[in-house]
Chain A
Amino acid sequence: MDVIANQLFAGLSMASILLMIALGLAIIYGAMGVINLAHGEFVMLGAYAAWALQTYVGIGILLALPFVFISVAVVGWIVEKVVVQNLYHRPLDTILATWGIGIILQQTVRLGVGAESRFVKGPDILTGNTEIGPLIMSNYRLFVIVFSIAVLAATWMLMTRTEFGMKLRAVIQNRGISECYGIEAKRIYSITFAYGAGLAGIAGALITPLFSTIPTMGTGLVVDAFLVVIVGGLGSLIGSAAASVLIGEATAIFSIVINDTLGRIAVLAGIILLIRFRPRGLFPTETRR
């Protein structure tokens, strides 16, 4: 019983990380239909930004978050302006172009910072564990869970309660008509892409104490995050949240029932089945395409 409870917590912790990464991806994919394979590299950039801020400037992860968000968002904004904007009418080609961008970012970091693993210290106030009976929860992981829920809520507010969100939803529904009403779709897309990239950056900064920070860390994460988005349903925030919990918990449970690798394979097989039978995801949003 103890094992199961602890494993459920591990699954939840993994789900919160997946959610943070997948949220940015979900917004970009949902809004523009762009499959951003460079998203993992945005996560990696965020991790390195957190490392650089801690090592050279001396500010901890929590204080660094706003700076990380802004710097990675700027990178995302540039990528959107220079490359992605020209490819909106060719969605399959965005897979290829963003993969190329991913290679460029990864190699730039490798050349600039080096390939060796970097260490980032977690915040001091969040060391230690919270114990409820047999259940032992790391404070930092608890914080990441709470933080990811907060980010989800903030994004939801942004999408539904602000003027920007309304414009974005209008552009998603019908770009041509929205432009007739004076909404600058191009600008909305740029900002959305930058916001998605910034979220990836925050995710990267937050996972630095849990993962080793290396230039290739993003490649594995992006596949997982992407599966979350697909399972959750096109552009649905709630769907992404549900899917990340589902995938995180399924991976955690399978990994004690069978073993880690086979567990992951089982989850992937489940995802393939799901896409086959529900190609629009668990929570499809009603949009006119």
Chain B
Amino acid sequence: MLSKFQYDLVALVIFALVVAFGVPAVMNYDGFELNTFARYLALAIVSMALALSWGTAGLLNLGQAATFGMGSYAMAMHLKLRASDGLPDFMGWNNVETLPWMWVPFESLAFTLLAGLLVPAFIGGLIAIFMFRARVAGVFVAIITLAFLVAFQLLFINQQGLTGGQNGLTGLAQMSLFGWSVDTYSMGFYYLVAGCLVVAMAIGVYLTHCKFGLILRAIREDADRARFFGYNVASYQTLIFCISAALAGWAGMLYTMVLEFASPTYMGVSFSLAIVIWCAVGGRESVIAAAFGAIVVNMLEGRLSDVFVEGWHLILGVIFVLVVMFMPRGIYGLLSDGVQKLRGPGRSQDQRDGETLPNL
């Protein structure tokens, strides 16, 4: 009998094999198709990051798109600087004479990569400390992060000279890593994104199964009880928020590389709730399921929008309402219930006790 950790490892290996060999074969090694799929993979990382904070720790972060956007703009700023000599073009249109100090360090790739992870983690950490020190929980976490997201997006669009405003950052250069100029329609780039996703998922699986993950689940089930056991609930919550934000920033960096532009819609309320939808469809309790959910929903979106140009959004809404109502634990819930049935009723009861949904 395999433990849950072993199940997850098996699932991760299967997932990695499918992404590495299955998908390119099915796509016929076609550059355009692979680029589209790489986009889904980048989005899978941010969905997985949400599963860490929402599924594991019970903190519904509706502002995930803000940290995603920070990562994506960090990368876009670097690529924009490489594309323009001296001053990026949009700054000229906005009467900005010299390169703002914020932009200067983004000339360096190493700084960009670090900033793409650490800036979201730092900002996420600040919000987390601010909320969790006061024991803000449940719905109020969702509201504060949502309000933060709205304010952040407004600020970003408002600072047109610094950020390109509503137009975002376009006309980006190609990324070059250690002399390898990254062609976004190549196999190499696909494997870069796929590799990042698998590594991120491995981190996620490890985090959910180590002692840290166990304590987070305890906090999700009953924060007070965890507190009485002597755990510092706020610092655990803050740490998982930081990790989740850093992963979202990572996903944002990859996303900018795939699409070759950055837009303030990445920080929109709609996008943020879309992340929640992917995570919920896949199953928020498992990072692998959440990543899978992002890929499935986005593929479906791609296919449906080809067939029903007008109505696909409607279909998506219906699917989502049905998932929330009848599959609250997502695809993962269906699978794990199926496994429980196969095992027979005797063992399943004590197994299930540990994984009931949080009553938020």
User: Which residues of A come within 8 Å of B, CB atoms?
Assistant: 35, 83, 86-87, 89-93, 95-97, 99-104, 107-108, 111, 219, 223, 226-227, 230, 261-262, 264-265, 268-269, 271-272, 275-277, 279
Question: Could you tell me the distance between the alpha carbons of A275 and B314 in the complex, rounded to whole angstroms?
Answer: 34
A102→B277 CA distance, assembly (Å): 13
B281 to chain A, nearest CB (A): 10
Q: Compute how far the CA of A160 lies from the CA of B155 in the bound complex, rounded to whole angstroms.
A: 43
B318 interface residue per 8 A CB criterion: yes
Given the known interface contacts A107-B317, A227-B147, A265-B155, the answer about A91 and B360 at a Cβ–Cβ threshold of 8 Å is yes
B324 A87 Cβ-Cβ under 8 A: yes
Q: Are A92 and B139 in contact (CB under 8 A)?
A: yes
Question: Contacts A91-B139, A92-B139: A100 and B270 contacting too (C-beta < 8 A)?
Answer: no
Q: A111-B311, A262-B158 are in contact. Are A268 and B321 (CB under 8 A)?
A: no
Interface residue B328 (Cβ < 8 Å from any Cβ of A): yes
Interface residues on B, range: 35 or more
Contacts of B96 in A (CB 8 A): none
Distance, CA A250 to CA B296, complexed state (A): 44
Assess A93 versus B317: contact at CB under 8 Å? Given A230-B143, A268-B147: no
Question: Is the Cβ of B277 less than 8 Å from the Cβ of A96?
Answer: yes
Q: Is the CB of A90 within 8 A of B314?
A: no
A275 in contact with B140 (CB, 8 Å): yes
What is the minimal beta-carbon distance from A85 to any residue of chain B, in angstroms?
10
Say whether, besides A83-B321, A87-B324, A275-B140, A268 and B314 are in contact (CB < 8 Å): no
Which chain B residues border A277 with CB–CB below 8 Å?
134
- Which residue of A90, A93, A227, A276 contacts B134 across the interface (Cβ within 8 Å)? A276
| B136 contacts A279, C-beta separation under 8 Å | yes
Measured CA separation A99–B146 after assembly (Å): 13
Asked if A103 and B144 sit within 8 Å, CB to CB, the answer is no
Question: Contact between B318 and A104 (Cβ–Cβ < 8 Å)?
Answer: yes
The complex places the Cα of A111 from the Cα of B277 at a distance, in Å, of 22
CB distance from B299 to the nearest CB of A (A): 19
Q: Which residues of B contact A87 (CB under 8 A)?
A: 324-325
Q: Is the CB of A261 within 8 A of B154?
A: yes
CA distance A223 to B268 in the complex (A): 12
> Assuming the A-B contacts A219-B269, A262-B158, are A101 and B321 also in contact, with contact meaning beta carbons closer than 8 angstroms in the complex?
yes
For B313, what are the chain A residues with a Cβ–Cβ distance below 8 Å? 103, 107
The docked-state distance in angstroms from the alpha carbon of A172 to that of B359 is 19
Query: When the two chains form their complex, are residues B321 and A108 in contact, meaning their CB atoms are under 8 A apart?
Result: no
B-chain residues with CB within 8 Å of residue A101 when the two chains form the complex: 317, 321
**B136 partner residues in chain A, CB cutoff 8 A:** 275-276, 279
Complex Cα spacing A108 to B318, Å: 11
Minimum CB–CB distance for B53 against chain A, Å: 13
Q: B311 near A90 (CB under 8 angstroms)?
A: no
Q: With contacts A90-B360, A107-B313, A272-B144 known, is A279 near B321, CB below 8 A?
A: no
Interchain CA distance A277-B144 in the complex, whole Å: 12
Q: Is the CB of A96 within 8 A of B276?
A: yes
Q: Return the CB mask of B276-290 against A: 1 if under 8 Å, else 0.
A: 110010000000000
Which single residue of chain B is at the shortest CB-CB distance from A224? B150
A89 touches B144 (CB 8 A): no
Q: Hey, which chain A residues are within 8 Å of B158, CB to CB?
A: 261-262, 265
Q: Is B196 an interface residue (CB 8 A)?
A: no
Q: Are B321 and A104 in contact (CB under 8 A)?
A: yes
Q: A91-B360, A103-B316, A108-B314 are in contact. List 10 more A-B contacts (CB 8 A).
A: A99-B273, A100-B318, A100-B324, A103-B313, A104-B317, A104-B321, A107-B311, A223-B269, A227-B147, A271-B147
CB contact list, B229-281 vs A, under 8 A? 269-270, 273, 276-277, 280
With beta carbons under 8 angstroms apart, the residue of A83, A261, A272 that contacts B325 is: A83
Residue of B140, B270, B324 with highest tally of chain A CB at under 10 A: B324
State the CA gap A219–B318 with chains docked (Å): 18
Residue interface bits B313-349, CB-to-A below 8 A is 1, else 0? 1101110110011001000000000000000000000
B103 to chain A, nearest CB (A): 21
Question: Could you give 12 example pairs across A and B, Cβ below 8 Å?
Answer: A90-B357, A93-B328, A100-B321, A111-B310, A223-B150, A227-B143, A230-B140, A261-B158, A268-B147, A268-B151, A268-B154, A275-B144
Provided the pairs A265-B151, A268-B147, A275-B144 are in contact, do residues A96 and B324 lie with their beta carbons within 8 angstroms?
Answer: yes
Say whether A111 contacts B321, CB under 8 Å: no
**What sequence of 0s and 1s flags, for each residue 118-156 of chain B, a beta carbon within 8 Å of any chain A beta carbon?**
000000000000110010101110111011101100110
Cα separation A219 to B274 with both chains bound (whole Å): 14
Whether B52 is near chain A, meaning CB under 8 Å from some CB there, is no
Judge whether B48 is part of the interface by a CB distance below 8 angstroms: no
Least distance between A121 CB and chain B CB atoms (Å): 29
B138 surroundings in chain A (CB, below 8 A): 91-92
Chain A residues near B134 (CB-CB < 8 A): 276-277, 279
Contact residues in A for B16 (Cβ distance below 8 Å): none
A111 to B139 Cα, complex, angstroms? 33
Tell whether, in the assembled complex, residue A100 and residue B320 are in contact, meaning their CB atoms are under 8 Å apart.
yes
Q: CB-CB < 8 A to A99: which residues of B?
A: 273, 277, 320
* Chain B nearest CB, measured from A106 CB (Å): 8
For B310, the chain A residues whose CB sits under 8 A away are: 111
Q: How far is the CA of A264 from the CA of B142 in the complex (A)?
A: 19
Name the CB-closest residue of A to B153: A265
Q: Are A97 and B325 in contact (CB under 8 A)?
A: yes
B51 partner residues in chain A, CB cutoff 8 A: none
B157 at the interface (CB under 8 A from A): yes
